[in-house]
Amino acid sequence: MGRLKTFTRRAFLIGSVAVAGGVAFGAYMVNKPHANPLLDNLGDGEAALTPYVRIDADGVTLITPRADKGQGAYSVQAALIAEELDVELDQVKIDPGPPSPAYWNTALADEAATFMAPGGGVGESIAYGALSAVMKTIGMQITGGSTTVPDGFVKLRQAGAVARETLKLAAAQKTGAAASELRTEAGRVLLPDGSSLAYAELAPIAATIDPPQDIQLRAPSEWRLIGKPMQRVDIVAKSTGTQSYGIDHKVDGMVHAAIKLNPAQIGPLIGFDAGEALKMRGVSKVVAVTGGVAAIADNTWRAFQAAEAVEAEWGPAPFPATMDEHWQALADSFTEDALDSRKRDDGDVEISIAETGEIISAEYRAPYLAHAPLEPISAIVRVDDDRAEVWTGTQIPRFIQNNVGKIAGIDPEKVTVHALYMGGSFGHRLEDEVVKQAAEIAVQMKGTPVKLTYSREQDMSHDFTRQIAMAQLRGVVRDGKVETYDLGIAMPSVVVSQMSRQGLSVPGPDSQIVAGAWDQPFTIPNQRVTGYRAPELAPISSWRSVGASSNGFFYNAGLDELIHAAGADPMEERLRLCSNPEARKVLEAVAEMSGWDGVLGDGRGRGVALTQSFGVHCAEVIEVSNTEYGIRIDKVWVAAEVGTVVDPVNFDNLVKGGVVFALGHAMNCEITYTDGIADQSNFDSFQGMRMYQCPTIEVRGLENGDRVLGIGEPPVPPAAAALAGAIFAATGTRLREMPFSKFVDFA
Amino acid sequence: MKLTVDGKIHEVDVEPDMPLLWVLRDELGITGVKYGCGIAQCGACTVHVDGYAIRSCQQPVGDLEGEVTTINGLGTPDALHAVQAAWIEHQVAQCGYCQSGQIMSAAALLAENPNPSDEDIDDAMSGNLCRCGTYPRIREAVKTAARTVRSA
Ligand code: FES
Ligand code: FES
């Protein structure tokens, strides 16, 4: 490995390093709050960086560090690099996996993984909360707040630009031409005499040159790729059954394992009898793991059957036995003692309410929800005496290193994690139970790779679900206007629950409890948003848009109640209250797209909602009909302000997908527990939206400013409220609890 | 027992009640066929048997009669089926995990009815779940593929 040559820009460096037959360019982070363990492991003259561009005899490879859960992150990242590097996407290889271990390090992978979020991602959202401090101390360095994404938008283009200019210098050195007279195009440096040199030819020389300092990035008007429709790099594979996912992965000599966990979520295993299971064909072993038993067989189905056949004795779940008790725990949390944050307190809510005879009040509920990406979770783990290897679809490779290291009794650095393609996540793969369990099995059969595949039933009923949440609102209207809005939200802390499984405690308030509610662009004379911390109940985790997934519904639906009491129009009153010019444009856009003008009649109705989450203002108008078969969702209009739309096709797909995801869950999904056991374990009882229910969806991306914000999550929070508003307009029924199918039928 | 998959004859030694899905994936290594639910609710495992779309997770291999076509046999990256070509044109996939099944359902629909109405499309495709919510693009892609099939 060569020496690291760097230049400084903001808080990161773009450096280069020699690799076999060529050169790699990438980012190296500075400003670390602690010593870099990676550098400690390197000998003199060695360096490490997170590579984005590798050029060698094989040509140009773009390395896209951020995991792709299905949101098209690989393509978008590749386009950002290619924009400045002057290569065409069909000329280059894209390497989403870990590159040569010689210069790869998962700590840096995590770092890289967190800043780039073209499709949004639940990972970023935890950075908004108290978590970032914890992350820093364990070396994950999540960049805080909304700087996360814009930073990546710059960084990848910068890597492309530095690589391009270094290649020009290499060409100048080789030919004697002045670097200023050189141009680049389609993976070649063009010389003044009309001849050209391929980047690959120049790579060995480029490896010896210090990357030039401070290159100006191209202006948006010069962009060739950004903002134009792109073909996703994986689209052919994903349309021909040739894309390999985690669950498809094979390792030589591996055995198949299936798990039977205590049906009572996270309850203990007391004992088991594997007699019947061991008699089954192909079954070699049944072993205990934390909270369950695993059967080892020679294929997946035999392992499933065997795990089912194990008789086990289980202990109880460590949380209340009935849903009534869960809801009661939330209802009991609206107290001064449980107050977690009051980040918004405009005017004086208490005086306004005390002075008014008539107040409006209501209670809202959002249930536990499974993530249920269509690919059930799986992991392959092999443990040897002094090392371990993991193959899995994950968003948290660094945690996995630590956890597998602990289970195997080896150094985390001796654990190699191969991150595989994921068939969806929605936050599911921010947990690593499946990997820990596979490792627990693998330590009991050292040297043999163990592939643990969850059945759908195990996956859904043992998911760490979306938080359960409750809101209580009070309000006052006067002279046809909303005058006072007091919203209290109670939920257990997602961040605390999630991090406790990584052995971490998170002090301080959890901003996710009020995310999507306290920071909305509406100015009301008296407005207060209070977060209350409910006790830990069932284990919960980040679910697409996290706190805002419940709070976008609460805030907007509550606002609708007040607007209705005031006798105002939901769109007009929102526009009147909207104090943020960016948000106003988004509202105006959906009003114009939907041709919003008052009441529709004929059993039809419209609703509108706007939520700012992850820095993105996203507004939705939904139109429904009340038919003889129930409510039919006819049409959805969405507008979102994201600064720059990198790929319009992917943007459109992600927004529509986010709307379908949110509406499907609002319509008919919940996870409930009876004696700790999930009452839903497959798609028969957790349906989501199906094709025949899918409305037409019209999408507009607004672009004000040179930045890029993720769009994977922001379409989720407003959807349920816009649907509830539309159903109210069509039927007069006010829906205050999800799923709505408990109260109305859907066609 | 013998079975014909994607034009090739295979000999497998498995229990007759093993679902075709797992014979394809684990015994024959045809992983384009996906496991999503195992109870005929998601459609990820859809294959054709003599041209009809079936859920392979519900088909005991011992009762199988007919030739199986999987997504890997329907077309290949170099020789795309009309439905696959339309899926690429419309950039349907997000995570892509459901798309093998979606494509097999759409191909079976068009083989039987090359001019489906919106309702026909909804009927044929509603057994295929897409957790990423790509339904709007699937609709468009089915219509494009239908045009290709009709003009062929
Ligand atoms: S796996 Fe067969 S329908 Fe879901
Ligand atoms: S594309 Fe992800 S499930 Fe359909």
Instruction: Give me the pLDDT at residue A64, please.
Output: 67
Cβ atoms within 10 Å, residue A517: 30
Backbone angles phi, psi at A26, to 5 degrees: -175, -175
Name which of A374, A459, A711 to mutate to probe chain B: the one with the most chain B Cβ atoms within 10 A of its Cβ: A374
Ligand 1 centroid, distance to B39 Cα (angstroms): 6
**pLDDT at site A66:** 63
Give the count of beta carbons closer than 10 Å to the beta carbon of residue A270.
10
Q: Where are the domains of chain B?
A: 2-73, 75-151
In ligand 2, the atom with minimum distance to the C-alpha of A238 is 1
Task: Centre a 10 Å sphere on the Cβ of residue B50 and count the other Cβ atoms it contains.
Answer: 10
Which residue of A69, A649, A650 is in closest CB contact with B95?
A: A69
Where would I find the H helices in A138-197? 148-175
* DSSP state for residue A285 in the 8-state scheme: E
Spelled out in words, what is the top-level CATH class assigned to the domain B2-73?
alpha beta
Equal fold, A2-227 vs A333-368+464-742: yes
Query: Are A473 and A487 a contacting pair, CB within 8 Å?
Result: yes
Query: What is the Cα–Cα distance from A644 to A364, expressed in whole angstroms?
Result: 35
Burial pattern A166-199, b for ≥16 Cβ within 10 A else e, equals bbbbbbbeeeebeeeebebeebbbbbeeeebbeb
Q: Which uninterrupted H or E stretch holds A529?
A: strand A526-533
* Sheet containing A22-29: order of strands: A5-9, A12-19, A22-29, A50-56, A59-63, A93-95
**pLDDT digit string, tens, across residues A151-162:** 567 878 888 898
The pLDDT, as a whole number, for residue A398 is 83
Q: Looking at the predicted structure, is the pLDDT value of residue B27 above 80?
A: yes
Where do the H-state alpha helices sit in A516-609? 547-565, 570-577, 581-594
What Å distances lie between residue A673 and A317, A324, A363, A677, A742, CA to CA?
10, 10, 21, 5, 16
For the record, the structure tokens of A276 come out as: 């019947």
Please state the φ and ψ torsions of residue A428, each to the nearest 5 degrees.
-60, -35
Of the candidates B88, B95, B133, which has its C-beta nearest A423's C-beta?
B95
Quick check: A240 and B96 in contact, CB under 8 A?
Answer: no
Q: H/E element holding A482?
A: strand A481-491
List of chain A residues with pLDDT < 70: 1-13, 27-50, 64-67, 95-152, 213, 598, 705-707
CA of B98 to the centre of ligand 2 (A): 5
Instruction: Look at A692 and B122 and tell me if their CB atoms are within 8 Å.
Output: yes
3-class secondary-structure state, position A259: strand
Judge: domain A333-368+464-742, CATH 3.30.365.10.
Answer: yes
CATH number of A2-227: 3.30.365.10
Between A236, A248, A374, which is nearest B88 by CB? A236
Q: What is the largest CA-CA distance in chain A?
A: 86
Short-list A604, A607, A583, CA closest to A663: A607
Both tokens of residue A80?
């950002």
Nearest to A18 by CA among A58, A60, A47, A41: A47
Q: Please give the structure tokens belonging to residue B32.
A: 């384009």
Q: Distance, in angstroms, between B50 CA and closest chain A CA? A: 19
Q: What is the pLDDT of residue A700?
A: 98
Instruction: Looking at the CA of residue B95, tell me the nearest atom of ligand 2.
Output: 2
How far apart CA A604 and CA A720 sit, in angstroms, is 17
Residue A61 CA neighbour count, 13 Å, CB half? 18
Mean pLDDT of chain A, nearest integer? 87
Of the candidates A424, A653, A654, the beta carbon closest to that of B131 is on A424
Residue of B nearest to A119 (CA): B94
Please give the C-alpha separations between residue A483 and each of A67, A489, A579, A721, in angstroms, as whole numbers. Answer: 45, 20, 15, 21
ipTM here: 0.98
The C-alpha atoms of residue A69 and residue A55 are separated, in whole angstroms, by: 27
Domain extents in chain A: 2-227, 333-368+464-742
In single-letter form, the type of residue at position B2 comes to K
Closest Cα partner for B121 from B109, B107, B103, B133? B109
Q: How far is it, in rounded angstroms, from Cα A3 to Cα A15?
A: 10
DSSP A642: -
Task: Please tell me the pTM assigned to this model.
Answer: 0.90
Cβ contact A2:A207 at 8 Å:
yes
| Contact call for residues A644 and A707 (beta carbons, < 8 A) | yes
pLDDT at A8: 34
Provide, as residue numbers in chain A, all residues whose Cβ is less than 8 Å from the Cβ of B134.
653, 656-657
Question: Which of B33, B34, B39, B100 gets mutated to test ligand 1 (max ligand atoms within 8 A of its CB)?
Answer: B39
Of A41, A39, A49, A44, the residue nearest A16 (C-alpha): A49
Query: Right CATH number for B75-151 from 3.30.470.10, 3.30.70.360, 1.10.150.120, 3.40.50.300?
Result: 1.10.150.120
> Which of chain A's residues have a Cβ under 8 Å away from the Cβ of B28?
none
DSSP collapsed to 3 states, A582-605: HHHHHHHHHHHHHCCCCCCECCEE
Query: What is the pLDDT at residue A28?
Result: 60
Alpha helix locations (H) across A636-676?
648-668
Residues near ligand 2 (Cβ within 6 A): A 70, 374, 424; B 93-99, 130-132, 134
Chain B CB within 8 Å of residue A252 CB: no
Give the neighbor-by-neighbor strand order of the sheet with A630-641.
A604-613, A616-627, A630-641, A696-702
Determine the distance from the C-alpha atom of residue A662 to the mean position of all C-alpha atoms in its chain, rounded to a whole number.
14
What pLDDT shows up at residue A706? Answer: 62
